[in-house]
Amino acid sequence: MESSTAGSLKFLIGWTAVFLFRLIPFRPPNFEPMLSVVMPFSKRYGPVGSFLFGFLGIVLYDAITSGWGSWTWVTAICYGLLGVGAHYFFRNREASVKNFLVFGIPGTILYDAATMLIGPVFNAQPLAAALVGQIPFTLMHVLGTTVFTILLSPALYHWVVQNAALEHHFALLKRI
């Protein structure tokens, strides 16, 4: 576990990457990098840090864009729990594209299965309608997770999570 200041800068970099991509207009729906960013961070930041990365990533994004609603808390808790699961998955595994995909694809499917229930539970949507609508939604989400896991997860792990220069930068600032 590293110092909270160095970890804070790294979390900010990860959240900014997710936030900026999610703001791109006309991007395909549910094609976003959140889990692909959570996974590299989970390898280093323990269960609490991993939960907070996923949870706060959603809470902060919704606070700035759409406002908070029931969807915020369900999706934030689900991403937080995925972060915890990723931490335990990667605890004794290499941070490789293969392992990111082995966790990311089933993690996305579990996330979508849980969050699919937002409509039926909070908005009286028929479960059958939620299931039918979830299929293309989940296919797009899995495609996004796959693309971002291949392109983004290893780069973030190497250039941000393991980057000692980011830690030294903050160590110098603490002395000033």
**pLDDT tens, residue by residue, 7-28:** 788 999 999 999 999 999 988 8
Q: Is residue 24 part of a domain?
A: no
Q: Which domain holds residue 137?
A: 4-18+33-162
Q: Is residue 130 part of a domain?
A: yes
Is pLDDT above 60 for 107? yes
Which tens digit of pLDDT belongs to each residue from 109-141? 999 999 999 989 988 999 999 999 999 999 999
The CATH number given to whatever domain includes residue 88 is 1.10.1760.20
pTM summary value: 0.87
Q: Give the Å distances, CA to CA, from 124 to 22, 121, 128, 172, 176.
A: 28, 6, 12, 54, 56
